[in-house]
Chains A and B, each alone.
Chain A
Amino acid sequence: MTTRQFGQPIKRKEDPRLVTGGGRFLDDLGHTAYAAAFVRSPHAHARILDIDVTGALDVPGLIGIWTHEDLPGKVGEPLPLLIPHPSLTAPVTGYCLAPDEVNHVGEAVVMVVAVDRYAAEDACGLVRVDYDVLPPVVGLENARAATDLVHDSAPGNVAAHLVQEVGDVDIAMAAAPNRLTLDLQIERSMCSPMEGKGVYAVWDADDEHLRLWSSTQTTTGVRAAVAAKLDLPLAKVDCIAPDVGGGFGVKIVHPWPEEVLVPWTARLLGHDVKWTEDRREHFVSSAHERGQLQQVEVGFDDDGHVLALDVRLWHDNGAYTPYGIIVPIITSTQLLGPYKPGSYRCEFWSLYTNTVLVTPYRGAGRPQGVYAMERTMDAIAAELGLDRAEVRSRNFILPEEMPYDHGLLFQDGRPLKYDSGDFPASLAKLKALVGWDEFAAYKEQAASEGRRVGLGIGCYVEGTGVGPYEGGHIVIETSGRVNVATGLTTQGQGHQTVFAQIVADELGVPIENVFVTTGDTRRMGYAVGTFASRAAVMSGNAIALAARQVKAKALRIAAEALEVSPEDLEIVGGMVRVKGAPGTSMALGTVAVMSNPLRYAFDEAARAATQFAGGNDPDKPPVAAGEEPGLEGKDFYSPTQATFANGMHAAIVETDPVTAEIRILRYCVVHDCGPMINPMIVEGQVHGGVAQGVGGALYERMVYDESGQLLNASFMDFLMPYASEVPFIETDHLETPSPLNPLGIKGAGEAGCIPVSAVIASAIEDAEGFPIRSMPISPTELWELRQRHTEPVAAQGEPS
């Protein structure tokens, strides 16, 4: 019997190639391409008065220079608003090149193409742009005060304002025996994929055909957007994602200005053109996330049950809103986590600032929401003197309450309805894993040694696998090779492995024979993209459905040849055989030969398939009615709603009593994404997510000064954690299947990073004995907080 591949922690099929230098990333393509570089705004907010390129014209190797004035038709029009929303009342998107006003440092103003990037940068350095500097709006307080405006078309700097309410919060709050208010803050960070963005375009003038490679999370999206901008028929544009060195959200935004301009210049010049983003460009001209101010008012009974939860959020959306207001919508809905407050209202304002635009970054608004909710849970426990885990547990949605409808609309515009999860079981696992009940004794012992330790906890629910759809396409070649294609893209998640595992099981073929292609519009023209922890759920199920079609067809053809009924057949190890009589069998490759009757013989396999090979019934057509030639199948998966994964994390931290340095001693994760296709890959996703979460909790922030300059736009000063800063991660899993899809799976991609800031804040608060209300936190900030909290108690106000 073949071992079932689903559930096996098999090694990744793609890794031998990647770790031996066989990867093919964007900058590995196009050796003869011209190089693009950009003159970017040095100002956060300014009017462009004049652009003088004459100084750059004599640079050896210069091919061309373009400003907004040079951009024809739709290329010169604003970039699309990808996700409109009725509450997004003042949407503003940028341009490929800024026409008359720049709204953040790093915005592209002039494009230069030269024979190589050196020459292109030489020319950029000689272009003179005169600006009239305008007052910049930096930081949420300034955006909210709206003394100055980012866009005249957005009064109060408000891009969007949205209120969702379930129950009557005002009445429930007034009736609640206890009330607390928390003012919270969470900083910006960014995706920081190892590979930045990049675009390479080849224009075939004879065929009037554009072939485009982009380091993107959505090739179908880029293809459609570029075709629209360049007025090309979709059939004349291919878009391919080569190996992509990480995305984490920033590459789902499209088209980036460069994705339009590079193909446009390639067509104009009749020569291939490439742009490879450098790290500094990535810091100032891609996207950030996470910055929010939050105000939570909570009413609760004496047992800690939340009766009313009233949340106000101010979300920094940066200079433009091409990706709509997905992030604050997710914050405001996923904030609820595993809990069921008696009533809930969330009001948010999405505000413009003169900073890099804000679009989803792994977690996509959830880390902020979980932070708000979990800080609140800890505050309730502190107020009532109850165990923090117990307070959470009392507010849990119970397994018997699933599916649980919160009465809110989720990011996909559909009801926020949890499909599965067993939160009490997850909490029990977590408490056992971290030693929750033993911690008090450990803390006491540490204190006797002069050490300060704290235990923190955070719970979350993550809507994963949002629609609208993905597809799977499978062709079996006469050699028995199984080609699988799905349209969504891969940025290192291990799709070549997990999708092959699914196909190997469904078709009964050795996993070595299965080859997966992702993100190539030549192979699958219908797709959405890789984001929202959706690849396994969406493409995994679509591929499973496609495989079932292929299998049914293979059995039909083989059944006829073997003169048995299809129900009597099985496929094992790539052989179609009669159940109970394995001697009567034929290879899948042979079935592929039979499925495609040929006129011409070009090799042995083809010879067997020609019309003259004998054995054909002259009374039947070579291809049976209702059949298509080839052993091929295609299907799509389109769910009615998202599926909801969940998890709970706990950490033990130690803070130095003098220097306030913070060390994570233990980090424990209990994770439920349903049945795991490949547990090793899920663990890897969790580890990577926690590492990014640790970055957001203790190290990373985007340090803008008051003029809108990003002061830490390099890996020297933007403190992404090294391996040495990431703790050993202990994991345990619960596998509560989703009832919503054929494989019963839920997404896992973002999970690891979601609650980390909440967990670390909770642990530091426990160690220090005073509230932590702003994250990330550095030693210098913790040290200052200590000084504030050792000041005379009389200075502190009453808790509201």
Chain B
Amino acid sequence: MKPAPFVHHAPTTVAEAVEVLRAVGSHGKILAGGQSLIPILSMRLASPEHLIDINGVAGLDRIEVRDDCVRVGALVRHTQLLQDESAYAALPLLRQALVHVAHPAIRNRGTTVGSLAHADAAGELPSVLALTEGVVEAVGPRGSRDIPASAFFVGPLETALAADELAVAVRFGRFPEGTRTGFAESARRSGDYALAGVALAITLQDKVIRSARASFVSVTDVPDVLDLSGAIGSYAAVPDLDAVADAVRAHVSPDTDIHATGDYRRMLVAELTRRLVTELLSR
């Protein structure tokens, strides 16, 4: 379990990183926290000729709370974001989801942006980016661009980032006032990739449900958003849980693997959503 030979690049600015990316193209891989990449290299499942290690790039480790979003730089570790009180106050869903990301040792190194760029459908953060209608900021030889979550996730482990582009930050959108959020997942062992998970946002005005939206973990190819506003009904006191569960079951397309069948995951995610709706509305 030793990686194949590679050239290690250590740029100190975004411009240098982009220059290396331009030069090596699809033969390069960005190394940030390395929590997915290093095992893949060690098992020789991938052998890129160049690693562009951005850990020395200045200015990428900041969390910024804005009126409409929380902006997270490419070197912000999960733990840093998890513990950031202002980010939690602005967007509680971040912490609600991040506590489910693996284990502390992994969260201490792994980066939030890296996890999104890896785009594992079993990861927690893609569903959060989707539900918050977030944006990925990419920089490449042709300049900078914003990629909305809806366009960012192309397929399992596949994003709209070009081979020579670097995701320098993401912006998680903030919810309107009166929104309650929650995150629930079930894994075989604590900290494992979830068998199924759900991120949920319900916006209330007085006792009336204005909107209810959900995105999912491990049960959809890409983390698209399911609008449950119709199914859930209007009155917070009596949500239509059966309709919510039906809508979730119809929306997801889970696969069978060695840990659970697709049918089980479908049941599980519907039940997780049903319980999460109940929990959010009883807060």
Mark A residues whose CB is within 8 Å of B: 117-118, 121-122, 125, 278-280, 658-659, 661, 699, 703, 711-712, 714, 716-717, 719, 721-722, 724-725, 778-780, 783-784
Do B264 and A779 touch across chains, with their CB atoms under 8 A apart? Answer: yes
Contact of A658 among B1, B4, B271 (CB under 8 A): B271
A703 to B257, CA, bound (A): 11
Interface string of B1-38 (1 = CB under 8 A from A): 11111000000000000000000000000000000000
Within 8 Å of chain A (Cβ to Cβ): is B151? no
Do B190 and A122 touch across chains, with their CB atoms under 8 A apart? Answer: no
Within 8 Å of chain A (Cβ to Cβ): is B192? yes
A784 surroundings in chain B (CB, below 8 A): 261, 264
A278 surroundings in chain B (CB, below 8 A): 1
Interface string of B224-250 (1 = CB under 8 A from A): 000000000000000000000000000
Contact of B190 among A117, A659, A724 (CB under 8 A): A724
Determine the residue in chain A with the shortest Cβ distance to B47.
A125
Do B2 and A279 touch across chains, with their CB atoms under 8 A apart? Answer: no
8 Å CB contacts to A: which residues of B249-267? 258-261, 264, 267
Do A717 and B189 touch across chains, with their CB atoms under 8 A apart? Answer: no
The verdict on A719 contacting B44 (CB below 8 Å), with A125-B4, A280-B1 known, is: no
Question: Which interface class (under 10, 10 to 19, 20 to 34, 35 or more) fits B?
Answer: 20 to 34
Do B271 and A717 touch across chains, with their CB atoms under 8 A apart? Answer: no
The verdict on A780 contacting B260 (CB below 8 Å), with A280-B1, A719-B192 known, is: yes
A717 surroundings in chain B (CB, below 8 A): 258-259
Interface string of B166-203 (1 = CB under 8 A from A): 00000000000000000000101111110100000000
The verdict on A659 contacting B189 (CB below 8 Å), with A712-B258, A717-B258, A784-B261 known, is: no
Determine the residue in chain B with the shortest Cβ distance to A723.
B190
The interface residues of chain B, by DSSP majority, are classed as: loop
The verdict on A280 contacting B268 (CB below 8 Å), with A703-B258, A719-B188, A719-B192 known, is: no
Determine the residue in chain A with the shortest Cβ distance to B43.
A280
A284 to B259, CA, bound (A): 20
Q: Which 5 A-B pairs have the closest CB atoms?
A: A780-B260, A780-B264, A724-B190, A278-B1, A118-B2
A121 to B229, CA, bound (A): 55
B242 to chain A, nearest CB (A): 13
Do B44 and A279 touch across chains, with their CB atoms under 8 A apart? Answer: no
A659 to B186, CA, bound (A): 10
Do B188 and A778 touch across chains, with their CB atoms under 8 A apart? Answer: yes
A722 surroundings in chain B (CB, below 8 A): 189-191
A703 to B186, CA, bound (A): 21
Do B267 and A783 touch across chains, with their CB atoms under 8 A apart? Answer: yes
Interface string of B153-168 (1 = CB under 8 A from A): 0000000000000000
Contact of B2 among A117, A699, A714, A725 (CB under 8 A): A117
A118 surroundings in chain B (CB, below 8 A): 2-3, 5
Do A711 and B258 touch across chains, with their CB atoms under 8 A apart? Answer: yes
A93 to chain B, nearest CB (A): 28
A724 to chain B, nearest CB (A): 4
The verdict on A125 contacting B2 (CB below 8 Å), with A719-B188, A779-B264 known, is: no
A721 to B190, CA, bound (A): 9
The verdict on A659 contacting B260 (CB below 8 Å), with A125-B44, A699-B189 known, is: no
Q: Enumerate 17 A-B pairs (CB-CB under 8 Å) in ascending A order.
A: A118-B2, A118-B5, A121-B2, A122-B5, A125-B44, A278-B1, A280-B1, A703-B258, A711-B258, A716-B192, A721-B189, A725-B189, A778-B259, A779-B188, A779-B264, A780-B259, A784-B261
A702 to chain B, nearest CB (A): 10
Do A778 and B44 touch across chains, with their CB atoms under 8 A apart? Answer: no
A118 to B261, CA, bound (A): 39
Do B264 and A279 touch across chains, with their CB atoms under 8 A apart? Answer: no
A659 to B189, CA, bound (A): 15
Do A780 and B261 touch across chains, with their CB atoms under 8 A apart? Answer: yes
A661 to B189, CA, bound (A): 11
B1 surroundings in chain A (CB, below 8 A): 121, 278-280
A190 to B201, CA, bound (A): 43
Do B258 and A724 touch across chains, with their CB atoms under 8 A apart? Answer: no
A117 to B267, CA, bound (A): 46
A724 to B191, CA, bound (A): 9
Q: A121-B44, A278-B1 are in contact. List 9 more A-B contacts (CB 8 A).
A: A122-B5, A659-B268, A712-B258, A719-B192, A722-B190, A725-B190, A779-B188, A783-B264, A784-B264
A125 to B43, CA, bound (A): 12
A659 surroundings in chain B (CB, below 8 A): 186, 267-268, 271
A705 to B267, CA, bound (A): 26
B4 surroundings in chain A (CB, below 8 A): 121-122, 125
Contact of A719 among B3, B189, B261, B268 (CB under 8 A): B189
B268 surroundings in chain A (CB, below 8 A): 659
A279 to B264, CA, bound (A): 30
B261 to chain A, nearest CB (A): 5
A724 surroundings in chain B (CB, below 8 A): 189-191
A125 to B47, CA, bound (A): 12
A683 to B43, CA, bound (A): 38
A125 to B5, CA, bound (A): 12
B100 to chain A, nearest CB (A): 13
A121 to B5, CA, bound (A): 10
B195 surroundings in chain A (CB, below 8 A): 780
Do A778 and B260 touch across chains, with their CB atoms under 8 A apart? Answer: yes
B268 to chain A, nearest CB (A): 6
A670 to B191, CA, bound (A): 32
